[in-house]
């Protein structure tokens, strides 16, 4: 799983503890006194924070941690390659908003570069969240099909790179992902 909910969305620290609700028993009380967890009180309001940052005192829940993880993605790369037929390579940089699409179908390679609008770049984290990109498996491989179609997706943030590889097998959201890439780049990707 690619999301660390304990990471503080504000300062990036992983020095966080869980917030516990309800009436605390002696064990919980002891842990709270030792600073291993934080007491959240007895009442829940629906979107209560679940984690507390010991470094900057921010509080957040899983949903906010997930949004922050998608917003930290700086570069998205994706590729599709069909043996002896065609090949797509896409790179979207959300920091400088530069997009490069390389397409090859047997002839000369076609390279398109453009700069996307700020509003388009701002919307992208929410869009890739809608296809659950951070929850995709690392490999989707159909062992019975050779050649055929290979694809990849890569997510780069400051602290890490996530690489996903596929061969003739796809996550459920693959088509929706391809539509997002096509729309952002203005070029076919499928
Ligand atoms: Zn923090």
Domain ranges across the chain: 16-70, 73-185
Q: How many angstroms does the Cα of residue 55 sit away from the middle of ligand 1?
A: 5
Residue 161 has pLDDT above 90, yes or no: yes
pLDDT in tens, 50-80: 999 999 999 999 999 999 999 999 999 999 9
Q: How many angstroms does the Cα of residue 131 sit away from the middle of ligand 1?
A: 28
DSSP letter at 101 equals E
How confident is the prediction for the chain on average, in pLDDT? Answer: 94
Nearest CA among 36, 6, 42 for reference residue 22: 42
pLDDT in tens, 129-142: 999 999 999 999 99
Query: Which residues crowd ion ligand 1, with CB under 5 Å?
Result: 8, 10-11, 13, 53, 55-56, 58
122 vs 94, 116, 118, 119, 127, CA distance in Å?
A: 8, 10, 6, 5, 10
Q: How many angstroms does the Cα of residue 155 sit away from the middle of ligand 1?
A: 23
Distance (Å, rounded) from C-alpha 58 to C-alpha 12? 11
Query: By the 8 A CB rule, do 189 and 88 touch?
Result: yes
- What per-residue confidence (pLDDT) applies to 46? 83
Distance (Å, rounded) from C-alpha 172 to C-alpha 163? 17
Pairing of strands 51-53, 59-60: antiparallel
Nearest CA among 180, 175, 174 for reference residue 99: 180
Query: By the 8 A CB rule, do 169 and 141 touch?
Result: yes
Q: How many angstroms does the Cα of residue 33 sit away from the middle of ligand 1?
A: 20
Q: How many angstroms does the Cα of residue 59 sit away from the middle of ligand 1?
A: 8
CATH topology (fold) of 73-185 = Mago nashi protein (3.30.1560)
Distance (Å, rounded) from C-alpha 98 to C-alpha 183? 14
Residue where the block lists tokens 């050649």: 147
- What per-residue confidence (pLDDT) applies to 84? 82
Q: How many angstroms does the Cα of residue 52 sit away from the middle of ligand 1?
A: 8
Q: How many angstroms does the Cα of residue 175 sit away from the middle of ligand 1?
A: 37
Nearest CA among 101, 97, 107, 99 for reference residue 89: 101
Q: How many angstroms does the Cα of residue 66 sit away from the middle of ligand 1?
A: 15
Q: Model confidence at 172, in pLDDT bands (50, 70, 90)?
A: very high
Q: What is the phi/psi pair of residue 147, to 5°?
A: 55, -120
């Amino acid at each position: 799983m690619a999301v660390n909910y304990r990471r503080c969305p504000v300062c990036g620290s992983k020095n966080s503890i869980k917030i516990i609700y309800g009436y605390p028993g002696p064990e919980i009380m002891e842990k709270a006194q030792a600073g291993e967890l934080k007491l959240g009180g007895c009442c829940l309001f629906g979107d209560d924070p679940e984690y507390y940052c010991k470094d900057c005192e921010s509080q957040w829940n899983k949903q906010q941690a997930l949004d922050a993880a998608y917003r930290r993605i700086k570069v998205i790369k994706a590729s599709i390659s069909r043996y002896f037929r065609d090949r797509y390579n896409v790179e979207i940089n959300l920091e400088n908003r530069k997009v490069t699409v390389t397409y090859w179908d047997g002839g000369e390679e076609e390279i398109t570069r453009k700069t996307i609008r700020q509003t388009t770049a701002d919307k992208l984290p929410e869009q890739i969240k809608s296809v659950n990109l951070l929850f995709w498996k690392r490999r989707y491989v159909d062992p019975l099909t050779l050649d055929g179609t290979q694809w990849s997706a890569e997510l780069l943030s400051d602290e890490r790179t996530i690489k996903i590889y596929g061969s003739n097998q796809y996550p459920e959201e693959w088509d929706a992902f391809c539509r997002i890439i096509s729309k952002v780049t203005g070029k076919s990707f499928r």
